[in-house]
A and B are shown apart, each in its own frame.
Chain A
């Protein structure tokens, strides 16, 4: 009789509560199962976030090639034929000029692009940790026809290659 009574009670009001409790427990189990994944995802986004304090603002504010290189790397560059620098001979639209830099030099730690005819010469700089291949493609703006310099820092030394790009429509709106 007692059993029957219990059944009845479960079918009426308390059954709902029990179902809720069960689904609550199920959800908790699910959350526990997913937790490691969430943690990993959280760690991924939390640990290596872009940090504005690392920005080499001084290097980006230089108007001459040598000053920008000095501010960024604190050394001078020597020309190298081991850098492959792909940029168009003639850029119809200076606002979007595709540039690709790659090198066979070992121990590359940084790659940078300078557009000498721009108000500020340094366009972009990249830090490459171990394991990242020394090949980067990007798109930059050129104010006018100018020499574009690709810099590669490898094994503690700085190498460069220069290419002239003709711009038929300037990318700085001026």
Chain B
């Protein structure tokens, strides 16, 4: 189910900029649905970004991160063709991961 993660990673020779969008409801547990019932909390807790096997960013998220969360950051190094992997796990234990090539 690698379909939840959209990632664009581009290298300018010295640094790699990563933009990632993950499809996820990110329900905080405080929102009520149309019938007034609370929608149970369902949000991503940990996201790991790794370049060629070593972690470049670890994100811890609460329910206050927006639906379909977007993250942008950059790290030194990384060249065109390198692997960039992203994996997440949510509070219900669901997981997904993907590996993209840096362009």
Contact = CB atoms under 8 A, between A and B. Distances in A.
Interface of A: 40-41, 43-45, 47-52, 54-57, 60, 95-97, 100, 115, 118-120, 122-129, 131-133, 135-143, 171-174
Contact of B31 (A60, A140, A174): A174
A139 B53 contact: no
Interface string B60-98: 111111110111111111000001010111000101010
B30 A174 contact: yes
B59 interface: yes
B28 A50 contact: no
A124 B58 CA distance: 11
Interface residues on B, range: 35 or more
A54 B48 CA distance: 11
A174 B72 CA distance: 29
Contact of A131 (B70, B75, B93): B75
Contacts of B67: 95-96
29 contacts: A44-B53, A44-B99, A45-B97, A48-B48, A48-B53, A49-B97, A51-B46, A51-B89, A52-B46, A52-B89, A54-B60, A115-B64, A122-B62, A124-B59, A124-B62, A126-B57, A129-B56, A131-B56, A132-B57, A132-B73, A132-B75, A133-B15, A133-B75, A136-B72, A138-B71, A140-B66, A141-B63, A141-B64, A141-B66
Given A48-B48, A52-B93, A54-B46, A133 B74 contact: yes
B47 interface: yes
Interface SS of chain A: mixed
B55 interface: yes
Main secondary structure of the interface of B (DSSP, over half): strand
Contact of A50 (B63, B69, B88): B88
Contacts of A97: 66
A112 B45 CA distance: 14
Contact of B48 (A49, A124, A137, A174): A49
Nearest to A61: B62
Nearest to A54: B46
B46 A120 contact: no
A143 to B, nearest CB: 8
Contacts of A143: 30
A135 B56 CA distance: 13
A143 B73 CA distance: 25
A141 B73 contact: no
> Nearest 8 A-B pairs (CB), nearest first?
A173-B31, A123-B64, A48-B50, A137-B72, A139-B66, A127-B58, A60-B62, A50-B46
